[in-house]
Structure 1
Amino acid sequence: MINVVFVCLGNICRSPMAEAVMRHKVLEKGFDEQIRIDSAGTSDWHVGKPPHEGTRNLLDSYKISYANMTARQFASEDFVQFDYIICMDNSNADNVRSLPGGEEAEIIKFMDLLPNEKLREVPDPYFTGNFEEVYELVNAGCDVLLDRIIEENSLS
């Protein structure tokens, strides 16, 4: 099993959106028995809460499930459990790296999946209110990431 975790600050906007979109893409391509997707936040502010209403509304509009998703905090144990750790912005990546075991972990910055985009961090719609912008970035980045995972792990 290949394990992927998306990480943002509170785990209610960006990372659960990426988790839901990636799960949807993995299921569509028939890799749901080979690839497991999760998300986490670097803070504990929203632990146990569902995704933000803006994220839920947007995912509903695209008919993408977020069933049973609740916020959790990223922990050092995640370094062992996950093969791909994808951080939504530089602060998230720094916070993850600062945990015990983080200095050796391979952390991917989400926007590095989209090198032609001007933005170098996924904007936080909790503050900007622009969930559609985040969806467009997440949708494109998840396509690139899934192709990368398929290629790197020789999935067919």
Structure 2
Amino acid sequence: MINVLFVCLGNICRSPMGEAVLRHKAQERGLGAKIRVDSAGTGDWHIGNPPHEGTLKQLKLHGISEQGIQARQMKGHDFEAFDYIVCMDDSNERNMRKLAGGAEADILKFMDLLPQEKLREVPDPYFTGNFEETYRLMDAGCNALLDKIIEEKL
């Protein structure tokens, strides 16, 4: 089983969208039983809450389930439990590398999966309101992430 964790600031917009999209794409490729996906935030503001309504709207528009997704905060044991920790921006990546110590998880920045994009961070739609852009990035990036997982681990 390959374990993937998406990380953003509050865990209600970007990372739960990534969680839902990757889970959906893994199922479509017949890898649902081989890849476990979760998400977490670096902050604790939204613990226990469902994804933001803008995230839910995009997922529904694209026929993707948000079932079982609720905000949680990153925990120390996540570094041992996940093979890939995928960060949505520079700040999240710095925080994860600082907290990881010598953990084995592969910490990467989501936009590194999309070198053709001018953006180097996933803009936070909580502040921009642009959930369509976030979905576009998640859609392309999750395809690239699945390809990376298949090449490296499966």
Q: Normalization by structure 1: what TM-score? A: 0.95
Spell out, residue by residue over 1:48-101, the C-alpha distance to the aligned partner (whole angstroms, 9 max, x if none).
Answer: 000000000111111100011100001110010000000000011112222253
Confirm or deny: 8 A CA contact 1:96 1:102 kept in the other structure: no
2:75 is the counterpart of 1:69: no
Aligned length: 154
Question: How much identity, in percent, do the aligned residues show?
Answer: 66
Spell out, residue by residue over 1:119-148, the C-alpha distance to the aligned partner (whole angstroms, 9 max, x if none).
Answer: 000000000000000100110000000011
Q: Normalization by structure 2: what TM-score? A: 0.96
1:104 CA displacement: 6.6
**Structure-2 separation of matches of 1:14 and 1:107:** 17
Q: Equivalent residue for 1:107? A: 107
**Structure-1 separation of matches of 2:138 and 2:129:** 15
Spell out, residue by residue over 1:8-38, the C-alpha distance to the aligned partner (whole angstroms, 9 max, x if none).
Answer: 0000000000000000000111111111000
Pairing 1:69-88 to 2, within 5 Å after superposition: 69-88=69-88
| SS of match in other structure, 1:98 | helix
Give 4+ residue runs of structure 1 displaced > 6 Å after superposition. Answer: none
The 10-residue stretch of structure 1 (42-51 or 93-102) with the greater mean CA deviation from structure 2: 93-102
**Residue ranges of structure 2 left out of the alignment (5+ in a row):** none
**Residue ranges of structure 1 left out of the alignment (5+ in a row):** none
